[in-house]
Amino acid sequence: MTTMTKLLALLYLPAAICASINPRARSTAFLSDAQKSALLVRGGDLGPISGEALAKTFGVLAIGDAIGGTVRTAELYDKFHITVLPGSNGEHYMGHGIASSAASLAVTSLLALTGTTSVEEAVGFGMLARSAYMTEMLLTGKYKELGVPAVPHVIVYLLLLGTAFGLLSGNADGVTLAKVVSVILAGHGGLLCLNPRIDEDDDTKQMAKVDGGYMFVSSLYSAILAFGVDPVKAMGYAAIGCLPLFVSFIGLVADDAQVFGLNSAQWTFVVVLFIGASAFGMLT
């Protein structure tokens, strides 16, 4: 088995586990015809893996990103040949920034997809997860180091808390607020990803792009849910947004660097294939 094949198997392992433990996720049509290709794509499925299992996979991967962005960020990215200086603004973007969006995405998606809570409550809990990281920024004054004006930061923070409270209390206005706040955050993340207007070196700007890309994906998912789209299809649309996010991330890795035996071009092929196939499975 080649290194690339092993990596593809690793990426799909969480989805395969979800499919094996969830009877609804298994495709009986696929199992009844052993001659069909393992990658046969049917409505809502990718072979034997259901769209629901694929969507949960992205939620599980987001948990890893949240943990990695919270604990020993610099050491983690060193394994990917990305230099992140401890205490730098770059560490904030690759650590705190990514972790807040990843935690929000993980909480929202897994609660909504498993049916543990209503969709509205899932979005509310996801906003509380992001608010926890914003609380840290307020207490440490990190927003000042990043050049973020205090008033807008506090306003967004209070909007998140107010929206979360409205969603969790069943207030009808909470859904309206969730649409507005999520669209605002997605827009901010998208602009940061496309053109980070910060006075930093090129590497730090690239890290800000990754932070912005993750904020866009996470907030896009919440926004789509707030507008009433099915959680699985919502993750399919969000997965498409992961493509520019990955491009921003891979831009930090040197072209000749070998990460787990693959160079940047090979990683791009593997991840784009994984994201593209998963998105197709969730949306069809």
Is residue 2 situated within a structural domain? no
Is residue 165 situated within a structural domain? yes
Kindly tell me the burial class for residue 86, based on how many C-beta atoms sit within 10 Å of its own C-beta (0-12, 13-18, 19 or more).
Answer: exposed
Is residue 28 situated within a structural domain? no
pLDDT at 33: 43
Is residue 41 situated within a structural domain? no
Is residue 251 situated within a structural domain? yes
Is residue 1 situated within a structural domain? no
Top-confidence residue, 12 or 273 = 273
Tokens of 131: 């608010």
User: What backbone torsions phi and psi does residue 46 show, to the nearest 5 degrees?
Assistant: -125, 90
- By the 8 A CB rule, do 24 and 232 touch? no
| Per-residue pLDDT tens over the stretch 15-34 | 433 443 343 333 333 333 43
Tell me which of 4-8, 82-86, 166-170 is least confident.
Answer: 4-8
pLDDT at 25: 36
State how many domains the chain has: 1
Is residue 219 situated within a structural domain? yes
- For the chain, percent of residues with pLDDT exceeding 90: 50
Residue numbers of the domain that contains 116: 48-283
- By the 8 A CB rule, do 69 and 239 touch? no
Is residue 3 situated within a structural domain? no
